[in-house]
Amino acid sequence: MAGGSLGSSCGPLLSCCITPSDAIIKPRYYGPVKNDPYCGRSGGRISRIVGGKEAEFGQFPWQAFIQVSGSRCGGTLVSRQHVVTAGHCVAKYQYNPSSIRVTLGDYVLNSDVESIPSETFGVRQIRIHPNFRFTPQADRYDVAVLVLDRPVVYKPNILPICLPPKDAHFVTRVAEAAGWGALEPGSKVRPRVLQHVHVPVLPNQVCESWHRRQGINIRIHDEMLCAGYERGGKDSCQGDSGGPLMLNDYGVYYLIGIVSAGYSCAKNYQPGIYHRVSSSSDWISSSLY
């Protein structure tokens, strides 16, 4: 697992480009954040994504594998019928949701080695954040909610994650990213086993200054967060887009980020760029209940 993208890119950043990234977008309040009563409990033991490890079966029971018309993204289950992913993964399919398949409860892709089988769902509706914008840099409000074609029956390998409080910040906390994305930058090989990696959450100003050291002038907006190491080595990568950045808070997992963008994977001074879920958790919640 090392940045994140769906399909082709239009430059060094792993996402597509249209609107100026410095456009002023005013956030609005969508009401209180509500969580599923079963959220955030891992079913696996705490034991690649670049520099990472194989996860345990059931360790991240909210992890979703999303197939989008021949491409792939990650996602996160947040209720019995809703999966959160990156807006750039699904935006062009907003009016063709039947082209998307979501698999929950998987661990080793394309196998039946799991003690409890995975389940695959169709998508009935795609809800894109109203402030989502493709930009030449990291996409703005890069989040979408998929409405599944039927409710999920919870079991040890299929459970929802918790949403964080509105506008909560997690700088200096160590989070986890997970997915089936590339293990090395530029590699077309994808692991079959779910990978995960620990990465620290960075202040946005530090993220911008690190990128400038590499000659990359990028604006990290308030609805974004960065996570990674100064010397690289561990990161999310191609194929991880839309997947979760999670925080284990005294045994309860919260979705704090969504894999959005990156100029490379696990490189010096180029941490991963994520949508900050606490900036949109009220909108996500309003889309569920």
**Hey, which bits of 214-251 come out as E strands?**
224-227, 244-249
Report how far apart, in Å, the C-alpha atoms of 200 and of each of 157, 174, 175, 205, 247 are: 26, 4, 6, 14, 10
CB 59 within 8 A of CB 157: no
198 counts as catalytic: no
d(CA 99, CA 135): 24
88 counts as catalytic: yes
CB 59 within 8 A of CB 42: yes
Helix (H) or strand (E) holding 89: helix 87-90
Q: State which amino acid sits at residue 99.
A: S
111 counts as catalytic: no
Q: Which of 241, 260, 280, 285 is catalytic?
A: 241
Q: Which of 36, 139, 142, 282 is catalytic?
A: 142
CB 3 within 8 A of CB 242: no
Q: Which of 5, 15, 36, 88 is catalytic?
A: 88
The distance from CA 158 to its chain's CA centroid, rounded to whole angstroms, is 17
d(CA 60, CA 86): 18
| Nearest residue to 86 (alpha-carbon basis) of 121, 48, 128 | 128
CB count within 10 Å of CB 112 equals 7
User: What radius of gyration, in Å, describes the C-alpha atoms of the chain?
Assistant: 17
| Nearest residue to 260 (alpha-carbon basis) of 218, 232, 230, 289 | 218
Active site residues: 88, 142, 241
